[in-house]
Amino acid sequence: MRFDGDVLTIDLSMTMEEIREFEQFIRPRIEYVETIDVEEGSGLASSALLALLASLKRTRRELNIPFIERGRTASPVYGTLHWMCYD
């Protein structure tokens, strides 16, 4: 996880423990983050992170999370994943 100016870059392949830490980190800082980017080449390892990112977006609509906004990702491990955030 890297914080560069207003952009927070995270690794998608977080373990459950790391996701908890990320959640604790972002909760008090959500107003200061403009964008949450993902590390290039990293793949989603837990649905909990997807849910957390969706929750962040729901909490603060103007927060820019390109990964969530894209609505899909594809990998050889899972095939194609789509999600709908309703926001």
Partner 1 sequence: MTKQEQVKAIFIEEAGEIIEKLDVDILRFEEYSGNYDLLNEIFRGVHTLKGNANAFGFTRLGEFVHHFEDILDHYRSTKEEIEIHNLELIVNSVDVIKEVMECELDAHPELPGGYGECLERIKHLIAAKTGKTRAAVPEAAPEELRDLASEFGIGCAEAFNETITRSIELHQSIREEGLRLYRVDLTLDNDAYKRGFDPLGFIRLLNDNAKSVESFFDLENVPSLEGFACDENTLGRVVCIVLSPKTPAEIAENFEFLFDHEYAVQAIEPPVVQVPQTEEKPKEEARSSSKPGGESSTGGMSASKSTIRIDTFKLDELFDSVGELVIAQNFIAQNEKIHAIEDESITRTIETLSKITKRIQDRVMSLRMVAIRDTFDKMKRVVRDTSKKTGKELALIVQGEETEIDKTMIDSLSDPLIHIIRNAIDHGLESSAQERLAAGKKAEGTITLRAYHKSGSIVISVSDDGRGINKERVFQKAIERGIITGDENLSDSQIFGLIMQPGFSTAETISDLSGRGVGLDVVKTSIEKLRGKIEIESREGEGTTFSMVLPLTLAIIDGMLVRSAGEIYIIPTLSVVESFRPEREIVHAMKEKGEFVSLRGQHIPVIRLSDVFSLPTERIEPWEGILVCVETEAGRIAIMVDELLGRQQVVIKTLGKSLARLREISGGAILGNGDIALILNVDELRPLIEGPHAGN
Q: Which of positions 2-21 make contact with partner 1 (CB under 8 A)?
A: 16, 19-20
Q: Is the CB of 2 or the CB of 20 nearer to partner 1? A: 20
Contact predicate 31/2, CB 8 Å: no
Q: Does 44 bind partner 1 (CB under 8 A)?
A: yes
Q: Does 1 bind partner 1 (CB under 8 A)?
A: no
Contact predicate 75/82, CB 8 Å: no
CA distance 77 to 65: 23
Smallest separation (angstroms) from partner 1 to the CB of 73: 10
Say which amino acid occupies 65: I
Q: Does 83 bind partner 1 (CB under 8 A)?
A: yes
